Amino acid sequence: MTFTYGICRKILCFSGNMVLYNIDKYLLRKARVMAGALTIKNGTKLRLALDVSMGRNPDFNMICTFAKALDESAFLISIPMKDGKAVSIDENQKLLIRYSGESDMILAGYVDDVVKEGIRRYWKVRRVSEQRQFFRRADERLKVAIPVQYMQETWRPNADGIIEKESGMSLDISAGGMALYMNRRFEIGEACELSLPNIGTTPQGRGIDGIVSVACWVREAPKGSIYRHICGFQFRFGDGIEKEQMQLYVANIKKKYKL
């Protein structure tokens, strides 16, 4: 038995593709407004810290300069110096970047590349989240690998009129979203439906089918992976009941795998 989240969207399909198209456009607009364009001025001084585990305070002990935004999710910053040398960083290390706007703001992102413009070298940072004050996840995120299927209603159906789902593998999950290894690339703000498997035999572990999710960040998968991309999704709940079902599902994962 599974919980079904996409019922309303599936029913509307019978009224015509235009209704579904408008729903997808609405989800896309909403997600892009949420992500928002960067409002940092070129030349602004920034303080950097390495991401830390929950309960610890990050140490913003590095200083750099904001160079320019490349798009809504990527931007260039000067490479910070330490002991007279340029700081080196692993591509899997998350950075916290603090700056002042209407109030103190913190960006989170990963260094995708080192870019040279003229005689200067910059870090190209891919943004993954932004929150006021101190960056901290609202929900506990569990590192766990479970098989996940995903699809979009706009994909072309097969000869039997069925839209075939593609398969991925979770990197982590929380009651608010998940990171997923996958072979199809989703753009930031793009919506899809995720199907999560049964976890055990208890009611709390029943699979969740068709939960609407929006891509918040996308990265290339590490070399050697059988997948091409890693995508971070935020769940979009229709009501409090759906959110509670997901909370129970994640709590069951934590209990079953002793996380």
Question: Is residue 230 located within the same domain as residue 245?
Answer: yes
Question: Is residue 143 located within the same domain as residue 249?
Answer: yes
Taking residues 54-83, report their average pLDDT: 85
SS3 label, residue 199 = coil
Taking residues 225-246, report their average pLDDT: 92
Residue type, 232: G
Sign, CA torsion 182/4/156/17: negative
Question: Is residue 122 located within the same domain as residue 167?
Answer: no
Question: Is residue 86 located within the same domain as residue 58?
Answer: yes
Question: Is residue 79 located within the same domain as residue 120?
Answer: yes
Residue 160 in domain: yes
What is the C-alpha to C-alpha distance for residues 63 and 83, in angstroms, rounded to an integer?
13
pLDDT in tens, 130-182: 443 443 445 788 999 999 999 999 999 999 999 999 999 999 999 999 999 99
Residue 235 in domain: yes
Percent helix, strand and coil across the chain, each to the nearest 5 = 20, 40, 40
Q: Which residues contact 18 (CB under 8 A, 6 or more apart)?
A: none
Looking at 99, 132, 165, the residue that finishes a domain is 132
Looking at 104, 132, 160, the residue that finishes a domain is 132
Question: Is residue 227 located within the same domain as residue 153?
Answer: yes
- Provide the token pair at 77: 């910053």
Question: Is residue 62 located within the same domain as residue 94?
Answer: yes
Residue 39 in domain: no
Q: Does the pLDDT of residue 235 top 90, yes or no?
A: yes
Residue 19 in domain: yes
- Provide the token pair at 110: 């990963």
Question: Is residue 27 located within the same domain as residue 143?
Answer: yes
What is the C-alpha to C-alpha distance for residues 138 and 223, in angstroms, rounded to an integer?
31
Model pTM greater than 0.75? no
- Provide the token pair at 178: 């998940």
7 versus 169: the higher-pLDDT residue is 169
Domain that holds residue 50: 45-132
Q: How many helices (H) and strands (E) does the chain have?
A: 3, 16
Cβ neighbours, 10 Å, residue 14:
8
Residue 113 in domain: yes
pLDDT, residue 104, reads 65
Residue 248 in domain: yes
CATH number for 244: 2.40.10.220
CA dist list (Å): 140 to 49, 105, 209, 254: 21, 21, 22, 10
Taking residues 13-29, report their average pLDDT: 40
Instruction: Put residue 133 in one of left, alpha, beta given phi > 0 → left and psi -120 to 50 → alpha.
Output: left
Question: Is residue 128 located within the same domain as residue 176?
Answer: no
Question: Is residue 155 located within the same domain as residue 55?
Answer: no
Query: Which of 36-40, 52-56, 81-85, 249-253 is the most confident on average?
Result: 249-253
Question: Is residue 66 located within the same domain as residue 149?
Answer: no
- Provide the token pair at 259: 């996380």
Domain count, the chain: 2
- Provide the token pair at 95: 């950075």
Chain length of the chain = 259
Looking at 70, 104, 132, the residue that finishes a domain is 132
Q: Does the pLDDT of residue 215 top 60, yes or no?
A: yes
